[in-house]
Amino acid sequence: MVSFHTYNLLAKDGFLEKIGPFDIILCENVIIYFDHAAIQYLIDTFYKILKQPGYLFVGYSETLATVEHAFQLKWHEHTYYYEKTPVTQKKEEEILQGFPSPLQSQTNILHKEHPEYSYEEIYYQLSKHYLKQDINQLMQWHDIFLHQLHQGSDFIKDEKIYLLLGEFFLDQNDTGNAFQMAEMAIEKNPRSIDALNLQAYTQTRTKDYQKAMYTLQIALQIEPHHPISLLLLYKLAEINQNHTLLKDILQKLKGCRETSQPYKELFPYQPARKIQFYSEINKICQEISSGAKKEL
C-alpha cells in the first residue's frame, strides 16, 4: 500500500501530477533551504496536486508568508497546517494559471502590498492573543513574525518575542520549538536570565537534568539570587537528592526573601505559571522560616 520514490521537488516533468492527487502533504524543514522563486513554484505545485479539501503541513519555523497562495491557515490539536478548501471553478482556474486571487489565506495581511509591522506591534499582538488564548490569531501573528524575520533580523530589538513564543510552545508540549526559541533568545541576549530560565525549564521538561543544571549555573553566575533560577535549581537538586546543593539553595532563597528585591520576569509570561512559581517559592521560604527545612 506504500510507494516510495526519490524525486526532485523542483522538477517540471509533471510526475507529481501523474501520481496525485493527494489528501495530505507533509513537507517539514524543506522550504527553508529554497529561495523565493523555488518556494513559490513548490507551493503552487502542492496546491495543484492536493484534493479539496487537502492539507499541507510545514515545519513550525517555516511559513508561506513570503509567497502568494490560496491556502487557509488552520489550527487544531496543538499544531497548525494549511488547508486547500473548495472554491469555484473560475477561481480554481485563476489559481492554477498563476493569476492573483482574493482567496488568500487567513494571513493575507502578509501580502506584499501591505506594510510591514513594527516589532512593538507584533509583540503586542502576540501578547494579547496569548493571554486571551486565541490560538488562531496568535498563529497568524506568529506567521507575520516569521515572515519579517526571514526578510532580516534587524527589526528584532530584544529577546521578548522569542520568550513569549517559547512559553507558548511549552503550553503545547512542543519542547523542541520551545528550546529553539530559548536558544534564539539567548543568542539575542546572552545575559538574559529569562532566556536561560526558559531553556533550563524546557530541559527539565525533557528530563535533560544535567544540561538544565549547567544552564542554571550560568544564570546564577549572572544573578546569584534570582528566585526562579533558584527554584528550578532547587527542584533539580531534589530530583538528584543533592542535599549539599539543597542547603545552599535554601540559604540563597532565604536571603532573596529578606532582601525582597523586585524582579520583572519576561519568563514566565503566563500569569498562571508565574503564580505557580512564586507560590512554590513562598512555600519553601515559609518552611525555612518555620524550621521545617532546617534539617535535610
For the chain, the first-to-last Cα distance in angstroms comes to 61
Whether residue 83 is found in the same domain as residue 184: no
CATH number for the domain spanning 177: value is 1.25.40.10
In a domain, 129, yes or no: yes
Whether residue 190 is found in the same domain as residue 150: no
In a domain, 79, yes or no: yes
Whether residue 97 is found in the same domain as residue 163: no
CATH number for the domain spanning 30: value is 3.40.50
Whether residue 153 is found in the same domain as residue 169: no
The pTM of this model reads 0.64
Whether residue 61 is found in the same domain as residue 175: no
Number of domains present in the structure of the chain: 2
Choosing from 157, 172, 197, the residue where a domain stops is: 157
Structural domain boundaries, residue 199: 159-290
Paired strand residues for 54? 84
Choosing from 124, 140, 157, the residue where a domain stops is: 157
Choosing from 116, 138, 157, the residue where a domain stops is: 157
Whether residue 212 is found in the same domain as residue 231: yes
State which amino acid sits at residue 160: K
Whether residue 273 is found in the same domain as residue 213: yes
Q: pLDDT tens for residues 92-145?
A: 555 555 443 333 334 444 444 445 788 999 999 999 999 988 888 898 888 888
**Diameter over CA atoms, the chain:** 78
In a domain, 295, yes or no: no
In a domain, 200, yes or no: yes
Whether residue 23 is found in the same domain as residue 87: yes
Whether residue 209 is found in the same domain as residue 232: yes
Whether residue 206 is found in the same domain as residue 243: yes
Rounded mean pLDDT, 234-257? 80
Mean pLDDT of the chain: 81
* C-alpha count within 13 angstroms, C-beta hemisphere, residue 290: 7
Whether residue 107 is found in the same domain as residue 186: no
In a domain, 243, yes or no: yes
Q: pLDDT tens for residues 187-233?
A: 889 999 999 999 999 999 999 999 999 999 999 999 888 989 999 99
Rounded mean pLDDT, 170-175? 88
In a domain, 57, yes or no: yes
In a domain, 296, yes or no: no
